[in-house]
Amino acid sequence: MGSKPNILLIVSDDHGYADLSCRGIHPEVNTPNLDRLVASGMDFRNGYVSAPICSPSRAGMMAGAYQQRWGARWFDSSRFAPQPWRSMPEVLAEAGYRTGYFGKVHYGPDDYGTRSCPDRHGFAESFYGLAALSMGRLHYLRHGEEEVARAGEAAPVVGVQPMVENGEQVSCHNHLTAEFSRRAQDFMRAGDAAADEPFFCMVAFNAVHNFAWQLPDEELDARGYRSIPTSMGR
């Protein structure tokens, strides 16, 4: 790709430093795919986020600036960078990059149609869930207006609100880890390499941050969680 390499940025939400099997710290941890990424790339072990919690860290990362500069310090004050701060996809789009976002969104009190939505800060293609509407979480399997009605008062807790595809609210009943991965791969394959059109693809998984009992049955079986009551949001 010459002077413009493709960029894939993966955010593994709330993933602890020791929670990689290549670290050799916890024998119960098994992360073979992440281990392969480490083995084939570079492993930076002295990097630090700019806030001790997730939302302001994301806000600072997206703007490439310390989020304290616009008052984003904790859950109660975190928010997406206001103007005149520009986002990574806005800068990269001007440099000729195709931009795509797939995953969880949570910078602060985000809402549909605001600048904190990926389609409003430089991503040309996007599929995401606004976790701010559900205490920072997204359900693994169920999203849509019908699921909100079904959940009733529990809807803001279990995170079943509609997903958003390129600015439009949509239903989704697929496992989000697989859905985000599939869409990201489709996006990265869709470009025209001959036209020297690099991509910036950001994938923000919700899985590490979420409730384990929302996993599909085969995932619960693999982890020995099937004894947990299935009435809790599944």
Q: Has residue 22 been placed in a domain?
A: no
Q: What is the pLDDT of residues 33-85, one digit of tens each?
A: 889 989 998 888 888 888 888 899 999 999 999 999 999 999 899 999 998 99
Number of domains in the chain: 1
Q: Has residue 99 been placed in a domain?
A: yes
Q: Has residue 70 been placed in a domain?
A: no
Structural domain boundaries, residue 99: 7-15+86-223
Kindly state the percentage of the chain with pLDDT values over 90: 58
Most confident listed range (22-31, 46-55, 123-132, 220-229): 123-132
* Domain of residue 91, CATH code: 3.40.720.10
The answer to whether the beta carbons of residues 172 and 144 sit under 8 Å apart is yes
Q: Has residue 194 been placed in a domain?
A: yes
Q: Has residue 176 been placed in a domain?
A: yes
Q: Has residue 229 been placed in a domain?
A: no
pLDDT at residue 232, as a whole number? 41
Q: Has residue 214 been placed in a domain?
A: yes
Q: What is the pLDDT of residues 90-139, one digit of tens each?
A: 999 999 999 999 999 999 999 999 999 999 999 999 999 999 999 888 99
The model's pTM: 0.86
Question: Which of 211 and 124 is assigned the larger pLDDT?
Answer: 124
The answer to whether the beta carbons of residues 12 and 203 sit under 8 Å apart is no
Q: Has residue 58 been placed in a domain?
A: no
pLDDT at residue 228, as a whole number? 43
